Amino acid sequence: MATESAGSKGTPLALPVLPLDDEVVLPGMVVPLDLNDPDVRTAVDAAQAAAGSAPGKPRLLLVPRIDGAYASTGVLGTVEQVGRLADGDPGALIRGRSRVRIGAGTTGPGAALWVEGTEVTETVPDPLPGAITELITEYKALATSWLRKRGAWQVVDRVQQIEDVSLLADNSGYSPFLTVQQKVTLLETADPVARLKLATEQLREHLAEQDVAESIAKDVQEGVDKQQREFLLRRQLEAVRKELRELNGEKGTDDESDDYRTRVEAADLPERVREAALKEVDKLERSSDQSPEGGWIRTWLDTVLELPWDERTEDQYDIQGARAVLDAEHAGLADVKERITEYLAVRKRRADRGLGVVGGRRGGAVLALVGPPGVGKTSLGESVAHAMGRKFVRVALGGVRDEAEIRGHRRTYVGALPGRIVRAIKEAGSMNPVVLLDEIDKVGSDFRGDPAAALLEVLDPAQNHTFRDHYLEVELDLSDVVFLATANVLESIPEALLDRMELVRLDGYTEDEKVVIARDHLVPRQLERAGLGADEVTLAESALRGLAGEYTREAGVRNLERAVARLLRKVAAQHELGERELPFTVTGDELRALIGRPHHVPESAQDPAERRTAVPGVATGLAVTGAGGDVLYVEASLADPETGAAGLTLTGQLGDVMKESAQIALSFLRSRGAELELPVGDLKDRGVHIHFPAGAVPKDGPSAGVTMTTALASLLSGRQVRTDVAMTGEVSLTGRVLPIGGVKQKLLAAHRAGVTTVVIPKRNEADLDDVPAEILAKLDVHPVTDVRQVLELALAPATSTAAPEVPVAA
């Protein structure tokens, strides 16, 4: 073959061009071309004219053309034979020989277009590296598998025999599945190894596609078979049913869908809802009894028919009456009731004037009651409903992570349900109830969407008149619903939601308030539950005070109510057993005999040696947790210089902010400790361990700064921290005491725990206005600006003259 390719490689050739529009000829291929095609005729004529009497066959350049643009490389072809094609037309047999890079146009005999070109030199390493032989084997394996699928057995042998990398790659030119563009790319890839790689890739992709196509075709076929079978079976089933009905003398009608139609027509539905419902009835009538769709439609229709579309309660309240209801149902809470009354007054005035609810951000459309458990948030919500004369529903949001919980599942979802809001309206049986979104701070979000975003839509007066539940799919007008929310902690309410709410804080009760609540509300309720008359058992104030102070320690009154219940059950049982005469008045002294020993003895009432602050290194702090204010103890110890780890160790489930304030406390003492006559050398050489007992409760916030500093200073100086002192405040690196939050809750907690002296930051002094006077009267509150003042107040004078024994951590 080499002898036939005229012109040595690299030298310019002048050749007539044969443009190819929808095929590509690669070297090694032999193709018949139709001489009736003027392009073919012109090129072949020119080639023959140029060849004349010279030796060798007429030569031309086969150049693919895509959208009128020529490829940059053509193939030198020789005219092997001119004669008749299989169909009888005149034709020429052309053999592709080698790649030619196309240069400038030139002239030559005949009407054809002439160009100059350079033959492409191909180099293949000899011997072939392993990778290339592997490539050859892979290509041949793929090609064989494809050819076998098409039954082209003879070709398999021919392909198997090609050893030349270049020829093997070009053999792909025969592949019918390649596009013209793909073939042009093969043509333009001059390097034979790269070309074979490309050809292998194309072949592999095609085989993979074919596999997928085959499996789809198979699935479709099977699906069709199944549908046909099902259809036939259904027809038979219907026929059998009909026979049976006739046998029993029944009429042959489908009562059920008729029933839905009449129900929908009879129901008081808004027009658009009726339309949607009738459409579903149509679908129901068309679907067969057994299809799952029928089931979905029936449940959906039931839901729609059960919704109180046309039910509303008439608001009947004057503001005085509303306030009276609030007062009657809850003791104390003067400022909270005032806020609620204001809210109701504004709502009522706007309603009377035909204005809507105040909307938008910070619009206060939603009242949020924030505070620790058991302070009456839920029951206040209920009172708001009573006060307005509306229905009340509670929607528990704790732990809701799925948007569908709020907005419903799409109907096609297995076991789909409407969301909680729609369910609440259904439960309320009116379109304008009071809906309490309980524990809105416990709404989370994850991959199942963002329930907070859905709530936002529910709460936004600009959007909620057209609330769309995914299940219901018809719009629901929520604009007349009064939404209230409750939360334990403000921090975990999603920002966007917080923005729409008007906050009302309930910080917890003093002991006096608890006694009143118990006397007026909890005891009467529990008496009734225990089947006792108000004239039969009386709880003296001393008993109530004992229950609130020593048997329970909480911000709210939930455990107090439980304790009252326990006490009354006991009395009821004793009476039934004939052990107790009624009427009976329970006093504080009788509590122990009735319900056992108290659980909460104040630290100050403990034996001095058993108090937690009996050893240096323990200080009492004040904190706010999800359960309200609380006292917490901070313990510090120094590691053994020989064996203990250096650096700072923190334990007790501390958050990042708290860890940072521990670092600050330590840094402060390292740099300023000497001024305070503390042996700070120990801090440099020995590891420090700070621990917050009650390790299972996560804690965070900067307000334990003063407590940690005090615990460390106590440890170093060997001076105990005074048992009656508790403290709160952030500390800066220079020892300044910075303001913190939750003063009221913390002071209430300090008082509950029997603390008498409290240290707070000076800049929190204004917060003392919120603290009930009776509490302030019992506490000695010291506002401070510098941590040195805290140490002075809190550290007891050194007791022994001997050098303090610094405790060593194991």
Ligand X SMILES: Nc1ncnc2c1ncn2[C@@H]1O[C@H](COP(=O)(O)OP(=O)(O)OP(=O)(O)O)[C@@H](O)[C@H]1O
> CB-wise, 266 or 334, nearer to ligand X?
334
Is there a binding annotation on residue 372? yes
Q: Is 709 annotated as a binding residue?
A: no
Is residue 684 annotated as involved in ligand binding?
no
Task: State both tokens at 181.
Answer: 């563009």
Minimum distance from CB of 323 to ligand X (Å)?
15
Per-residue b or e along 373-401, where b marks 16 or more CB atoms closer than 10 Å to that residue's CB = bbbbbbebbbbbbbbbebbbbbbebeebe
Task: Read off the tokens for 716.
Answer: 């170093």
State the nearest-atom distance from the C-beta of 377 to ligand X, in Å. 3
In terms of CB distance, is 137 or 379 closer to ligand X? 379
570 has binding-site annotation: no
CB atoms closer than 10 angstroms to residue 661: 24
Least gap, CB of 676 to ligand X (angstroms)? 44
- Residue 465 or 558 having the CB closest to ligand X: 558
Judged by DSSP in three states, 416 sits in coil
What gap in Å lies between CA 397 and CA 423, rounded to an integer?
13
- Spell 8-45 as b/e; 16+ CB within 10 A means b: eeeeebbbbbbbbeeebbbbbbebbbebeeebbbbbbb
Q: What is the DSSP string of 262-281?
A: HHHHHS---HHHHHHHHHHH
Q: SS3 string of 677-745?
A: CCCCHHHHHCCEEEECCCCCCCECCCCCHHHHHHHHHHHHHCCCECCCEEECCEECCCCEEECCCCHHH
Least Cβ distance, residue 383 to ligand X (angstroms): 9
> Least distance (Å) from ligand X to the CB of residue 376?
3
H-helix or E-strand spanning residue 12: strand 12-20
Residue of this chain nearest to ligand X (CB atom): 376
Q: Please identify, using beta-carbon distances, which residue of 257 and 488 lies nearer to ligand X.
A: 488
Residue 488 CB, nearest approach to ligand X (Å): 6
Catalytic residue (one of 98, 166, 703, 717) = 703
Q: Is 746 a catalytic residue?
A: yes
Q: Given the complex with ligand X, which of 556 and 621 has the nearer CB atom?
A: 556
Q: Which is nearer to ligand X, 367 or 704 (CB)?
A: 367
Which amino acid, 682? D
The Cα–Cα gap between 646 and 648 comes to 7
> 257 or 486: whose CB is closer to ligand X?
486
Give the nearest distance from C-beta 442 to ligand X in angstroms: 10
Alpha-carbon separation of residue 224 from 81, 218, 287, 435, 505 (angstroms)? 53, 10, 19, 51, 65
Q: Give the CA distances from residue 53 to residues 13, 50, 115, 116, 176, in Å, rounded to whole numbers and listed in that order.
A: 18, 9, 22, 22, 38
Length of the chain in residues, anyone? 810
- Judged by beta carbon, residue 59 or residue 521, the one nearer ligand X is 521
Q: Minimum Å distance from CB 331 to ligand X?
A: 4
Q: Residues interacting with ligand X, by CB under 6 A?
A: 330-333, 373-379, 486, 488, 517, 521, 556-558, 561
Check: CB of residue 631 under 8 Å from CB of residue 753.
Answer: yes
By beta-carbon proximity to ligand X, the closer residue of 330 and 470 is 330
CB 712, min distance to ligand X, A: 36
The CB-based long-range contact list for 117-121 (8 Å cut-off, 24+ gap) reads 117/12, 117/13, 117/15, 117/61, 117/74, 117/76, 118/10, 118/11, 118/12, 118/13, 119/5, 119/7, 119/9, 119/10, 119/11, 119/13, 119/76, 120/9, 120/73, 120/190, 121/9, 121/10
Q: How many CB atoms lie within 10 A of CB 174?
A: 16
Q: What's the CA gap between 613 and 605, in Å, rounded?
A: 13
Q: Are 297 and 322 in contact (CB under 8 A)?
A: no
- Going 671 to 672 to 674 to 680, the CA torsion angle's sign is negative
Rg of the chain, C-alpha, whole Å: 45
In the chain the first and final C-alpha atoms are separated, in Å, by 93
371 a known binding residue? yes
Contact 434, 381 (CB under 8 A): yes
Q: Is 377 annotated as a binding residue?
A: yes
Nearest distance in Å: CB 625, ligand X: 13
Q: Two tokens at 765?
A: 């002094």
Catalytic annotation present for 703: yes
Query: CB of 225 within 8 A of CB of 233?
Result: no
**Nearest Cα residue to 146 out of 176, 168, 105:** 176
Q: By C-beta, is 140 or 514 nearer to ligand X? A: 514
- Contact between residue 565 and residue 533 where contact means Cβ atoms under 8 Å apart: no
Non-local (6+) Cβ contacts of 774 within 8 A are 510, 512
- Was 374 annotated as part of a binding site? yes
Strand-strand pairing, 392-396 and 584-586: unpaired
Residues placed in the known binding site: 371-378
Residues placed in the known binding site for ATP: 371-378
Catalytic residues: 703, 746
